[in-house]
Amino acid sequence: MNYFELVKQEEKSNIGIDFDGVIHNHHKGLHDGPIYGEPIPGAIEAIKKLSLNFKIIIYTAKAKSDRPLVNGITGTELVCEWLEDHKILKHIHEVTSEKPRALIYIDDKGYRFEIGKTLLDL
């Protein structure tokens, strides 16, 4: 049995996408809280296209409930405002602090163990 056979049917329609560094350039890091980054080239168009066939679930540490409010706004609200400002919120199924169950993940920090390669080779 392969991985795709193990994934539950309802999860096969999910694509998990990290927010920071994947959808926006996160050029100031956390800085003072607001989201300053501009869209990564091609990210907006890709999300629109993927959303035609998949549920797009954005995951980000910004959405963690223990994060302080920024000007009275939660991290989830900040992310949703950014998505709305860039006209893609309607293409997003959910914004969460947890990595969702999904068919695939799009993440800038992804690393796979491969024969002959180690983290020391980075």
CATH numbers and ranges of domains, the chain? 8-109 (3.40.50.1000)
Summarize the confidence of residues 43-48 as an average pLDDT.
96
The structure's pTM equals 0.81
Distance of CA 87 to the CA centre of its chain: 16
Nearest to 17 by CA among 112, 94, 110, 105: 105
pLDDT at 53: 93
Q: Which residues are CB-contacts of 96 (< 8 A; sequence separation ≥ 6)?
A: 57, 58, 59, 60, 63
pLDDT at 11: 72
pLDDT at 68: 85
Q: Alpha helix (H) ranges present in 51-103? A: 75-85
Distance of CA 115 to the CA centre of its chain: 28
Confidence class of residue 54 from pLDDT cuts 50, 70 and 90? very high
Quick check: 8 pLDDT over 90?
no
